[in-house]
């Protein structure tokens, strides 16, 4: 949603309803395999485009395009690491037996 009374763009607004309009973005075609890092990729590309002086709409498109690209490979940065049940270091270790699964 974009508000005519203020610069920039917002994902939602509870205070700006005057002359507000909704804009959508066509879904980008890609082979999504993992969404980890998509938000980071979006904001990085958006900010870079903004710093280069691109219009907000163009910067948003750059962010969406790069976020879609990030979703095409596993592990966000190409370093997928498997997580195994009972792996040390997990905050909430995965249950390793059927009785543990039922007790949670």
Longest dimension (CA), the chain: 58
* Domain-wise residue ranges, the chain: 28-80
DSSP assignments along 30-41, one per residue: ------TTHHHH
Give CA–CA dist 4/16, Å, rounded: 9
Contacts of 54 (CB under 8 A, 6+ apart): 62
pLDDT at residue number 89? 64
pLDDT at residue number 45? 96
Q: What is the block-wise mean pLDDT of the chain (104 residues), using blocks of 10 residues?
A: 47 51 61 85 96 94 91 71 68 63 62
- Asked if 86 and 96 touch (Cβ cutoff 8 Å), the reply is yes
Give CA–CA dist 71/40, Å, rounded: 11
Kindly report the pTM of this predicted structure.
Answer: 0.54
């Amino acid at each position: 949603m974009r508000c005519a009374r203020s610069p920039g763009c917002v994902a939602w607004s509870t205070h700006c309803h005057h002359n507000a309009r909704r804009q959508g973005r066509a879904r980008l075609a890609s082979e999504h395999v993992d969404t980890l890092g998509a938000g980071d990729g979006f904001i990085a590309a958006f900010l870079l485009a903004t710093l280069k002086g691109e219009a907000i709409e163009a910067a948003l498109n750059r962010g969406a395009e790069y976020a879609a690209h990030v979703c095409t490979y596993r592990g966000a940065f190409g370093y997928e690491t498997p997580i195994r049940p009972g792996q040390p270091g997990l905050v909430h270790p995965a249950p390793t037996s059927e009785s543990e699964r039922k007790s949670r």
